[in-house]
């Protein structure tokens, strides 16, 4: 007898949890019809690139780099050999600023403010064997061990995202303030059109 009363009470409580939706006359499927997302959902790389125009500074550089994932140097109109620095200058230009105008990855060591560690949107300059060799890309984040996730050109002959060992990083730099200001001004001008 006690078990049947307990079971009846449990059913009554469970039924009561659903009562407000039914009692208010709102159909269960109509409860979320007025829900509007807080921000638009990006459905493609082009949407992400358009959103980059609205994001100030270094985030716009990262979004511009992400826009070109999977593309080759030829598709971007860049030289087909040793083009990571060309790609970095390309995305800075597309974001509305000037880069180093050098084809050397290590030229970015003198470009901007050096950081003590990776930051989203920062430029990472990495070591490669050879006196003037290197690689450059934009930091998207880090893995669980502190290794940077970099979006760069000339990674497997395409623009790719990859995890690089943190020991290979020579420096992280944030583009100079005047470059970030140029990017923001360019984004505002584009938005005003």
Whether the full predicted model's pTM is greater than 0.85, yes or no, is no
Q: What residue ranges of the chain have pLDDT lower than 50?
A: 21-23, 26, 31-55
Give the pLDDT score at 51.
Answer: 45
**C-alpha span between 183 and 93 (Å, rounded):** 9
**C-alpha span between 151 and 156 (Å, rounded):** 12
> At 63, is the secondary structure helix, strand, or coil?
helix
**Contacts (Cβ under 8 Å, ≥6 apart) of 108:** 85, 88, 99, 100, 123, 125, 136, 173
CB-CB contact of 45 with 97 (8 Å): no
Token digits for 81?
């050999």
Q: In this structure, which topology does domain 45-192 adopt according to CATH?
A: endopeptidase fold (from Nostoc punctiforme) (3.90.1720)
Domain ranges of the chain: 1-35, 45-192
Give the pLDDT score at 89.
Answer: 94
Torsion, CA 79, CA 82, CA 84, CA 90, rounded to 10: -20
How many other C-beta atoms can be found within 10 angstroms of the C-beta atom of residue 29?
A: 7
Token digits for 48?
């992400």
Give the pLDDT score at 76.
Answer: 94
Give the pLDDT score at 174.
Answer: 87
């Amino acid at each position: 007898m006690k078990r049947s009363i307990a079971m009846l009470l449990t059913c009554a409580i469970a039924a009561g949890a659903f009562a407000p939706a039914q009692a208010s006359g709102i159909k269960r499927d109509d409860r979320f019809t007025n829900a509007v997302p807080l921000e638009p959902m990006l459905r493609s790389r082009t949407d992400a690139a358009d959103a980059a125009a609205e994001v100030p500074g270094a985030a716009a550089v990262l979004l511009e780099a992400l826009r070109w994932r999977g593309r080759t140097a030829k598709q971007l109109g860049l030289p087909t050999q040793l083009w990571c620095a060309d790609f970095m200058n390309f995305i800075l230009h597309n974001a509305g600023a000037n880069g180093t105008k050098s084809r050397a990855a290590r030229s970015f060591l003198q470009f901007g403010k050096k950081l003590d560690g990776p930051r989203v949107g920062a430029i990472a300059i990495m070591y490669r064997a050879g006196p003037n060799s290197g690689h450059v890309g934009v930091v998207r984040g880090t893995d669980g061990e502190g290794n940077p996730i970099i979006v760069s050109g000339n990674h497997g002959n395409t623009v790719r995202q990859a995890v690089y060992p943190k020991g290979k990083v020579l420096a992280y730099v944030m583009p100079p303030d005047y470059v970030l200001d140029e990017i923001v001004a360019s984004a505002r001008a584009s938005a005003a059109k």
